[in-house]
Structure 1
């Protein structure tokens, strides 16, 4: 894997700026201005005398989605400061850019090549031993468990109108269907083909093998409360209508054997080691140089 400055987790950022500019303070327009407001500018950022220009930060912001403009600006400015630190160090070490294509086939810029080269030369991740891999596996069994699957089906009864009387009528009909079919799978399938308003009606109402979180919560919870081969006596309401639900079979997840995930664990531990060491390396570069306008990081004791 080619590792770049964007993969470094330098999270100790604590800039101090003034209040954010208010939005839509002038009346009457209903916020009907440009779809994308101009990016904010919070202060000058310099890395050992080299300015990270507002234009560069504005362009970088698009790669750092955030809940507010200040956070986006901070993340973009920090990323560019880290990149500049690495480029300066690569030049100090006498490295020469040799462009490689990235994962999409795009050729690197000279600065991107310098960042890659200095990280490859100066940051060597620790390779986890089999004992370390096994300890991680035994300490985190939930990470290596396949998801529970629920082979389920439903009958959807839609209200004829969006008023209380129509919803009550749909509920009453759904209840009558649940009572009539009981736990009989054949009867359930026939009722589905006759009455269900959902697309899977012609497949006996099958929802397939679903995972937790794939259905609306009320329907998911109702299915998971059932035993294998059981139809719920109470229909469940969603925004679509009333559902008569059935659980054909619950397929519990299982923990994968260590040998099946050993390589994945090794890659993950190596990536974690690289990220930690690269973060410390960049923080050390920042401590030796002069970074103004943004806090890149601090060397841990």
Structure 2
């Protein structure tokens, strides 16, 4: 299928940057919230003599507030009931010996490790802030890669050159490009008449870009264009000066992307320093 390069700025700085950097952002959002300042050892309830700590309740209350829930008697009662039910179920599971099961303990170990990792990444991001000057430099770099023009194109992608030649012949006879696009191998555009929307040439593979930028408005390629994905027939709907979103509009997405790059480098450096011995067999037998 036609895998386009990630779209620069309007999409690169928007959705792609969100895609490219979501690990760092998700880690910060889902990391364990800092412990409440006043930790109490008091219990909010007991279940069969086992206490449910005030600390656990305060932690859940803080999480609830961070998710937009107001602090109200109803919310507090709901959280207390939740903790009580969970304690009852946990005790029942322990009675059945489920706390001794290997799979259960493996999941507990993995959950603990995940929480530690998230807390570490949250701390790393907090202690390695990125200034606007760094983000502006990245913005300018991506903006330069876009060039001064963007194009609105359609395409039909087929597997064989003979298929492409047949489609071109039918276009010459007056058949509609949008209708013939239903034969395209590209699932992302075939239902839209082959429409690819507005994009910079750098978003596409070189063969595609070279052919597209040579077309006049409203014209299509009279020879099939070969790429790693198959054979393309390209139609140019229009072109215009590049319209980059303002820096302030995309700054947060740029920050997420840069943070992810920071984290990737940090992980790479830590791995390089670590003494790793691969001793077990992980390959499929």
Asked if TM exceeds 0.5, the reply is no
Considering fraction of residues, name the structure with more helix: 2
TM-score (norm 2): 0.37
